[in-house]
Amino acid sequence: MILAGPQGDYSGVGSAGIARNAATGQFTGLLIGLVFGLVFVEVSSGDLPVNWSFGLRAAGVMIAVMLFVGLLWRRRLLDQAGQRADRFNRRYWAVVAVEVVALLVGLAIIKRVLDADRFIVTWIAVVVGVHFFGLGAIWRDKRLYQVGTVLTLIGLAGFVIGAVGGSAAAIALVSGVGSGAALFVGVGLTLLAAQPWSTGDGPH
């Protein structure tokens, strides 16, 4: 996944090429979700009033750090749960390719044709949400459908807010920060559901 937009630089964050080993598939997937959640919060908060922006960005960093520690703590169990045929295969790359094309085409239309930069984050949220349906299908993971549904609806909500005259800050809060929060929640719930906690489970 690659995100880019004039209201904040989403470039440089990608889901492509991160994992080389099938055993680390689930860990890598959660790490991607964590990183994207942080990017959504940090970038979108820039469109909010200073007090809101500072508070949300600080909260985003703290939540991301806690989740990352949890990922490291649970890595062995996640690796065991994710051991299967290579998740990052040709079908995965096909989904990523479609996602990239959809993002680039949509962003070009929003920026150059519609001149409506406030909708950039909404389009990103929708595309990222829809791409989870593709991943859910090729990985046979119904949880990804749930994540995809939430992100897609959050993105569409931003379009509605803008259509009825809502401000760019309102759109950023709902579709940007909201998407980040949804990804954080998804990562956290997956960590909690991995396996029962035990005193012998620790960072490796």
- With helix as H, strand as E and coil as C, how does the chain read? CCCCECCECCCCCCCCCCCCCHHHHHHHHHHHHHHHHHHHHHHHHHHCCHHHHHHHHHHHHHHHHHHHHHHHHCHHHHHHHCCCCCCCCHHHHHHHHHHHHHHHHHHHHHHHHCCCHHHHHHHHHHHHHHHHHHHHHHHCCHHHHHHHHHHHHHHHHHHHHHHCCCCHHHHHHHHHHHHHHHHHHHHHHHHHHCCCCCCCCCCC
pLDDT score recorded for residue 61: 98
pLDDT at residue 197, rounded to an integer: 39
Exposed, middle or buried: residue 120 (CB in 10 Å: 0-12, 13-18, 19+)? buried
Residue 162 has a pLDDT of 96
Q: pLDDT 10s digit of each residue in the chain, 204 long?
A: 433 333 444 433 333 333 333 334 678 888 999 999 999 999 999 999 999 999 999 999 999 999 999 998 888 766 555 445 467 789 999 999 999 999 999 999 999 999 999 999 999 999 999 999 999 999 888 889 999 999 999 999 999 999 999 999 999 999 999 999 999 999 999 888 865 433 344 444
Within 10 angstroms of residue 127's Cβ, the number of other Cβ atoms is: 24
Spatial CA neighbour of 138 closest among 74, 78, 93, 81: 93
Q: Pick from 15, 69, 32: which is nearest to 183 by CA?
A: 32
User: In the prediction, which pLDDT does 74 show?
Assistant: 82
- Where along the chain do its domains lie? 22-193
